[in-house]
Amino acid sequence: MHVYQEGKRLIIAQGNSQVWIDPWGENSLRVRMSGDPRMDENDWALTEPVPETNSTITFETVDTTDPWYKGEEWAKYHYTGTLTTMVNGKITVKVSPEGWLSFYNQKGELLTEEYWRTRDRLNRYCVPLRITGREMKPVLGTDSFELTARFEAFDDEKIFGMGQYQHRHLDKKGATLELAHRNSQASVPFYVSTRGYGFLWNNPAIGTATFGTNKTEWVAKRTRKLDYFITAGDTPAEIEAQYSAATGRTPMMPEYGLGYWQCKLRYRTQDEVLAVAREHKRRGLPMDVIVIDFFHWTMQGDFKFEPRDWPDPEAMVKELKDMGIETVVSVWPTIDERSENYGYMNEMGYLMATDRCTERSTWMGPTVYYDATHPGAQKFVWERCKANYYDKGIRCFWLDEAEPECSYDFDNYRYWAGPAMQVTNTYPVGYAKGFYEGLKAAGEKDILSLVRCAWAGSQKYAVLTWSGDIHSSFRAMREQLQAGLSMGMAGIPWWTSDIGGFLGGVIDDPAFRELLIRWFQWSCFCPVFRMHGERSPWHEREQEFINNVRQLTSGQDNEVWSFGEEAYEILTKYLFIRERIRPYVRSLMQQAHETGAPVMRPLYYDFPQDATALNVEDCYMFGPDMLVAPIMEAGADTRKVYLPAGCRWTDAYTKQVYEGGQFVTVPAPIGVIPVMIREGKDYPIYE
């Protein structure tokens, strides 16, 4: 092994393998390891230019009297070797004489270190295990490696972030997470540790992350290199700012994104859309966005309106615009073999390829996904959408199926960027990038795309991620709370869910109406306030065809007046609450744009020194001033809430003032979600 300096880079060389350690912005490092003589050049999520820093590298000969070795059992053995240290602001990496990496903060406190259980020169560890901190095993017959990276586990550590997974736990310590996208699952492999660092697994390969009690282990099943980013900070806010500086910050949220979004599965005609919008305005209700869901087209992959049901999109968009309503149109990445675009896209290599058998979906037609990693495919799809949507006045797109939702046989298909096993997690990034760059080139400045999936770096392409086709239940609602908080901590600040859940809600069922009310209240205090759901039972309708292409029917009504008078009175109240707090929401979006701060975040983010707040997973901060406690149980009319120490809190509903640092039980009748206002602030929530 040979350790040497090349410019500001520290290199550990051994045979054909090299480890590169680079300063990567303020208080941050990037660590890469090749399995080949040449390092793979992909930067993946680390695309942004970072500032030059005054990092330093030192080499020193140490022996057992060095302070770094004091107290060790083996110190009685005399030994000398070279200890290499790189310091970049608040983060330090030490390379032991054996090449093992340990990371420290500016106080000399250990943040994390690699997990090695093999022999070093002093026999510090049990020799027979032979477990290394970094391992790249060649996959025979390919140019890929199976990668495993191991780090020590710490009992005092909590893990926040990692994207969107469908389980209850906000703290990911103890979890094994699949590094793969699925419908309702978005793998965004960045986390913030309570030990004072943030960590990005900068690798889009299929794999797993395990935050065990004995070790932390990252696995990429097929890859060309190890690549991670680690950053140190005194607060979670500082860590998020440094991470977002390296991967890109979200733009400023367009003004229409701050208000209420109306959506259902699905408005079948132009007349239905206009009727709902007109009725909203007739009732004097606020609405900023109305969404036209899928199968408004004749054929998947045509990227245009079916003229029979949508005879004059331009006139529709203009009337909606005159009412102050933005039109959003769903785009799917599926291309029907009968589509007018299929032949050209297939010839140009713009479609997803397969290795051993044809990857086709048969739902509503024989389709294949377009290759969103291909720059040419990105440009072509945008150009079709520009001609058929943008040029008719539509400025915002719903990019559905962004995982993509294939069979999940990742070893079968491949993209322009490489085999799916190596790169598939970048699919939603390329999908959003194509539309972001197309809109920007067309002169748009306020850009937003509603996307069903995201990966690290997606945020810079103006993605609003929602949590997919979830069930209509209080259990699912509880799971979405941690999903939204985890997405925020993973660097994706624009997030929403389907109010009431997507699957299984029956609109005249009293139990569902209660769920819908509670979910609607909660969504009023989420980054984006959006109604959606299929709403059972589906409309009775014979199968309908246009030009021999089957058409899709629709679920039941999903407007605020669709669920009875009691629900209507409550839901409309929250439409106006959202309008009253709109200036505050706008300020949170500005902070997200400027600093990378999550809009919704765990109590830990704002109160990292409060040990009790650290363990609270059933409420959250909506920006720095509002503590929100959603009602996530049927029949509940009170709520136990922890109020972080360091300030007093006012119940927005009762106006009662409480000292921080205690649990309180507050009233939560069916029309009320508990919201606690931080001392010194006042917002017009309940009037």
Q: Which residues are tagged catalytic? A: 400, 403, 469
**Is residue 649 within 8 Å of 679, Cβ to Cβ?**
yes
Strand partners, 416: none
Closest CA to 647 of 614, 613, 672: 613
**Is residue 158 within 8 Å of 173, Cβ to Cβ?**
yes
Q: How far is CA 583 from the centre of its chain?
A: 25
Spatial separation of the C-alpha atoms in residues 331 and 449, rounded to whole Å: 10
Half-sphere exposure at residue 559, Cβ-oriented, CA atoms within 13 angstroms: 17
C-alpha distances (whole Å) from 362 to each of 265, 368, 369, 419, 424 are 20, 9, 12, 23, 22
* The two three-digit tokens of residue 31, written as one number: 């660590």
**Is residue 172 within 8 Å of 194, Cβ to Cβ?**
no
* The two three-digit tokens of residue 64, written as one number: 């057992």
Spatial separation of the C-alpha atoms in residues 532 and 365, rounded to whole Å: 25
Spatial separation of the C-alpha atoms in residues 488 and 494, rounded to whole Å: 8
3-state helix, strand, coil in the chain (%, to 5): 25, 30, 45
End-to-end CA distance of the chain: 70
Closest CA to 116 of 92, 150, 70: 150
Compute the chain's Rg from CA coordinates: 26
**Is residue 94 within 8 Å of 104, Cβ to Cβ?**
yes
Instruction: DSSP for 528-562, please give it.
Output: SEEB----BSPPP---EEETTEEE-------SGGG
415 DSSP assignment: E
Instruction: DSSP for 423-464, please give it.
Output: HGGGHHHHHHHHHHHHHHHTT--S--EEES---TTGGGGTEE
Max Cα-Cα span within the chain: 87
Buried b (16+ CB within 10 A) or exposed e, 584-593: bbeebbebbb
Q: How far is CA 220 from the centre of its chain?
A: 19
Closest CA to 209 of 235, 229, 186, 179: 179
